């Protein structure tokens, strides 16, 4: 919490204006050269292929704006600026970047409604040998004991193949089913990008659960194991990956699971960022998850969705509604109080920004078709959104629904609810 308050003070202290020298009218002039400034670890040979603004082409601000988005999604820069400079009748494009530290050690902190606070040492890497690559090792102790590893390939315009892998070992008390749950979770994905916005791929998952109470698992020996195979397609045209204000993030995935049980899962996730005025944006999201089979027979009850809490329906107590299927929708208004900008903290290059938020959530969890309308709950509230590197966002919320609830979350709520952070 002390680190959070320090970061918040740094953001509030940052100057909210940055003077830009006037530029002559350069739209349409031929680009003579592209110069990259500020690189420390990332190779120039990584930066230049991401850009459409290249020598011989006309300089267009719309193209330069898209180049900034491409560089931003690499996840290695705290600040990016593209500046056209007149050179006789032509133009030179100066790309000025500030790199985030390629490796950062810190404390991983998670607060969930089910297991409370967990924290532990973590290591995050954003590049290796000058090339972007998202690697993370996390350990947590407290409400949950966890060791996790994650790898995510960078989004490069000159590379069509994408992949990700994560594995975690967890030991926690399952409050819903009242047993000590030990689990292994493996998720691997690989596919191809058909464009900068579209990607499609295959999914393979393995999930094993052991318990200390008879009847908690589907198998009589108190140990379940499941293998899942399926596919995913995603569309992402956000104008920023750190602090988006325009665009869509949509995905559909389907899985067939066998092992101790047998069932199918369909996820449909839709998110829209819509600007409404200067510094103001509406974030609307909806998530639907449908599962086949009978609860407790074909799929385990510990895999039920529990709605209520910071990462599902705020303003409601944890597990107010339960079911094998879920629907969650959020409508959030954000006002950027302090624009995101680069800072240097303890010798590290970081970025930070602050937004104020007002939101409303609705959701339903159900087992049978006639339970969908009966399972609806809702809540509303206000909050702060602190944008920082490595975790993207910290959320502080105060919500009402069935009483008054405070909340703390890491990352976008839409991402947390999709990852079943409860």
Is 81 in contact with 96 (CB distance < 8 Å)?
A: yes
Q: How many CB atoms lie within 10 A of CB 370?
A: 8
Alpha-carbon separation of residue 312 from 104, 113, 172 (angstroms): 30, 10, 20
Beta bridge partners of 201: 191, 232
E strand or H helix at 8: helix 2-13
* All domains in the chain, ordered by first residue: 22-99 (3.10.20.310), 156-418 (2.40.160.50)
Confidence of residue 123 (pLDDT cuts 50, 70, 90): very high
pLDDT of residue 12: 40
Distance CA 414, CA 422 (A): 12
Is 374 in contact with 341 (CB distance < 8 Å)?
A: no
Q: Is the pLDDT of residue 149 over 60?
A: yes
Distance CA 55, CA 59 (A): 9
pLDDT of residue 11: 41
Tokens of 336: 């950027």
pLDDT of residue 23: 57
Q: What is the pTM of this model?
A: 0.88
Over residues 347-401, the pLDDT tens digits come to 777 889 999 999 999 999 999 888 888 889 999 999 999 998 878 899 999 999 9
Distance CA 19, CA 247 (A): 28
Over residues 39-82, the pLDDT tens digits come to 999 999 999 999 999 999 999 999 999 999 999 999 999 899 99
Distance CA 269, CA 337 (A): 28
Average of per-residue pLDDT across 211-216? 90
């Amino acid at each position: 919490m002390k680190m959070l308050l320090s970061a918040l003070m740094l953001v509030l202290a940052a100057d909210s204006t940055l003077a830009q020298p006037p530029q002559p009218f350069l739209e349409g002039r031929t680009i003579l050269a592209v110069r990259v400034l500020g690189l420390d670890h990332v190779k120039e040979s990584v930066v230049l292929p991401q850009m459409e603004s290249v020598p011989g082409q006309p300089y267009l601000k719309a193209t330069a704006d898209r180049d900034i988005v491409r560089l931003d999604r690499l996840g290695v820069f705290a600040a990016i600026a593209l500046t056209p400079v007149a050179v006789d009748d032509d133009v030179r494009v100066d790309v000025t970047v500030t790199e985030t530290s390629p490796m950062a050690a810190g404390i991983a902190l998670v607060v969930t409604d089910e297991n409370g606070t967990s924290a532990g040492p973590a290591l995050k890497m954003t590049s290796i040998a000058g090339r972007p690559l998202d690697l993370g090792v996390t350990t947590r102790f407290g409400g949950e004991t966890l060791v996790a590893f994650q790898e995510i390939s960078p989004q490069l315009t000159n590379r069509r193949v994408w992949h990700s892998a994560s594995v975690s070992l967890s030991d926690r008390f399952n409050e819903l089913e009242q047993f000590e749950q030990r689990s292994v979770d493996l998720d691997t994905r690989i596919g191809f990008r058909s464009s900068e916005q579209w990607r499609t791929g295959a999914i393979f998952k393995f999930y094993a659960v052991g318990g200390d109470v008879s009847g908690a698992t589907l198998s009589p020996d108190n140990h379940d194991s499941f293998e899942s195979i399926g596919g995913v397609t995603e569309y992402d045209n956000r104008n920023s990956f750190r602090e988006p204000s325009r665009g869509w993030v949509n995905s559909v995935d389907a899985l067939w699971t066998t092992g101790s049980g047998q069932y199918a899962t369909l996820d449909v996730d839709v998110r829209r960022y819509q600007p409404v005025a200067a510094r103001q944006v509406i974030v609307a999201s909806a998530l639907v998850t449908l599962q086949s089979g009978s609860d407790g027979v074909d799929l385990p009850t510990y895999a039920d969705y529990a709605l209520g809490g910071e990462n599902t329906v705020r303003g409601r107590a944890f597990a107010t509604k339960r079911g094998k299927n879920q629907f969650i929708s959020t409508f959030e208004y954000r006002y950027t109080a302090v624009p995101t900008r680069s800072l240097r903290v303890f010798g590290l290059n970081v970025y930070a920004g602050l937004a104020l938020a007002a939101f409303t959530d609705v959701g339903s969890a159900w087992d049978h078709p006639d339970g969908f309308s009966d399972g609806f709950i809702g809540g509303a509230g206000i909050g702060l959104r602190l944008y920082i590197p490595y975790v993207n966002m910290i959320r502080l919320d105060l919500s009402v629904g069935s009483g008054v609830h405070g909340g703390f979350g890491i990352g976008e709520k839409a991402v947390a609810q999709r990852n079943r952070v409860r």
